[in-house]
């Protein structure tokens, strides 16, 4: 019997594999799928299944036979980690993607969503960044290795669509934050790094906090629960070759972000800036017209999102990874 691959409402009882279900993105997707009534979610920790191991990945797919997949597993990090370990970010992510996508195709996965990042776009792309800006200019050097890996994933999704006719899609979220984020000093992105820095300043009674760069770059931030809702919406309503930008369509300066974190943590001291540290890309704002056309817009404000993330961090600070 032929299988209908036309996008539409996903069957809530079908086996649904979330690759990377313990990370910021994957855990958000898992929570959302549970709340939407999915009853057969499958996840494996990296200790249980090393997705860089091709044989193990294929064996997992042969055993579990998922009908749907979200590929949220990735090696991720901020400017410092990306700049220091470019080989790891390129090699690890390429292997994870190729293994999962090849195994998913071989074992008949109907619908798959590949998650990338807005860093795939050129450093000086016209703002807000449209999906067709991909491959039109030079990447930001501090995370080009990670970006190239994610671009390869987009192209593999497009190749699967052309060669096999499967309605697999790609989504490119903007900067994400929320419960389950990485707050480690060496591996975190800007928002969780700020939350940790300001919370520690409040606890220690420090009169000043020093932030990296000038505070002038503009960034867009999307709560992970919003992102997760967008992913399910796209899997049920979107079928196109092009990757879809997932964001809020608005941005703030890093200085404004730091001020929001200071307020949420209760820090009332002096804010200072170490201008010898790199700023990164001057602005990264996504054009989310395609997402809006597909019928979805974000609902969690940055103020509310930062406040609840600070609360989550403080509740879990003892168990957060270093």
Q: Are 182 and 192 in contact (CB under 8 A)?
A: yes
Q: What does 197-244 look like in DSSP terms, one character per residue?
A: HHHHHHHHT-SEEEEES-S--EE-EEEHHHHHHHHHHHHHH---SS-E
The reply, when asked if residue 176 is annotated as ligand binding, is yes
The reply, when asked if residue 116 is annotated as ligand binding, is yes
The reply, when asked if residue 100 is annotated as ligand binding, is no
Of 17, 68, 121, 146, catalytic: 146
The reply, when asked if residue 295 is annotated as ligand binding, is no
The reply, when asked if residue 117 is annotated as ligand binding, is yes
Instruction: State the Cα–Cα distance between residues 302 and 321, nearest whole angstrom.
Output: 24
Sign of the CA dihedral running 42, 150, 154, 37: positive
Residues 6+ away with beta carbon under 8 Å from 233 = 294, 295, 296
The reply, when asked if residue 189 is annotated as ligand binding, is yes
Sign of the CA dihedral running 270, 275, 276, 282: positive
The reply, when asked if residue 118 is annotated as ligand binding, is yes
Based on the residue annotation, tell me whether 177 is a catalytic residue of this protein: no
The reply, when asked if residue 249 is annotated as ligand binding, is no
The reply, when asked if residue 175 is annotated as ligand binding, is yes
Which residue in 159, 78, 179 sits closest to 114, CA to CA?
159
The reply, when asked if residue 232 is annotated as ligand binding, is no
The reply, when asked if residue 150 is annotated as ligand binding, is yes
The reply, when asked if residue 185 is annotated as ligand binding, is no
The reply, when asked if residue 107 is annotated as ligand binding, is no
186, two tokens: 């060496």
Q: Are 187 and 223 in contact (CB under 8 A)?
A: no
The reply, when asked if residue 115 is annotated as ligand binding, is yes
Instruction: State the Cα–Cα distance between residues 199 and 181, nearest whole angstrom.
Output: 15
Q: Are 194 and 260 in contact (CB under 8 A)?
A: no
- Cα 3-5-9 angle, rounded to 5 deg: 110
- In sequence order, the β-bridge partners of residue 271 are 209
Which positions are annotated as active-site residues? 146
Write out the binding residues for NADP(+). Answer: 20-26, 115-118, 150, 173-176, 189
Write out the binding residues for substrate. Answer: 197, 212, 219, 279
Write out the binding residues. Answer: 20-26, 115-118, 150, 173-176, 189, 197, 212, 219, 279
């Amino acid at each position: 019997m032929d299988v209908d691959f036309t996008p539409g409402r996903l069957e809530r009882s079908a086996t649904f594999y979330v690759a990377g279900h313990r990370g910021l993105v994957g855990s958000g997707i898992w929570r959302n799928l549970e709340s939407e009534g999915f009853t057969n979610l499958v996840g494996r920790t990296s200790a249980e299944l090393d997705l860089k191991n091709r044989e193990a990945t294929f064996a997992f797919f042969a055993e579990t036979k998922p009908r749907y997949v979200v590929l949220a597993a990735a090696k991720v990090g901020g400017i410092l980690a990306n700049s220091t370990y470019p080989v790891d970010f390129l090699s690890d992510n390429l292997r994870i993607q190729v293994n999962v996508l090849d195994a998913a195709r071989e074992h008949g996965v109907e619908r798959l969503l590949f998650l990338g990042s807005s860093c795939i776009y050129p450093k000086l792309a016209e703002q807000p960044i449209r999906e067709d800006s991909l491959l039109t200019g030079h990447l930001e050097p501090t995370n080009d290795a990670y970006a190239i890996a994610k671009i390869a994933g987009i192209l593999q999704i497009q190749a699967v669509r052309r060669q096999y006719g499967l309605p697999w899609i790609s989504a490119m979220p903007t900067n994400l934050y929320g419960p389950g984020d990485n707050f480690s000093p060496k591996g975190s992105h800007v928002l969780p790094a700020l939350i940790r820095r300001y919370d520690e300043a409040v606890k220690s009674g420090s009169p000043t906090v020093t932030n990296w760069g000038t505070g002038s770059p503009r960034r867009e931030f999307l709560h992970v629960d919003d992102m997760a809702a967008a992913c399910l919406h796209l899997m049920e309503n979107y079928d196109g070759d092009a990757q879809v930008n997932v964001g809020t369509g608005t941005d703030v300066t890093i200085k404004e972000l730091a001020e929001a974190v200071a307020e949420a943590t209760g820090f009332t001291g002096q804010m200072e800036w170490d201008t010898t540290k790199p700023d990164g890309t001057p602005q990264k704002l996504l054009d989310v017209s395609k997402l809006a056309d597909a019928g979805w817009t974000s609902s969690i404000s940055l103020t509310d999102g930062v406040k609840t993330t600070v609360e989550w961090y403080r509740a879990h600070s003892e168990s957060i990874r270093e």
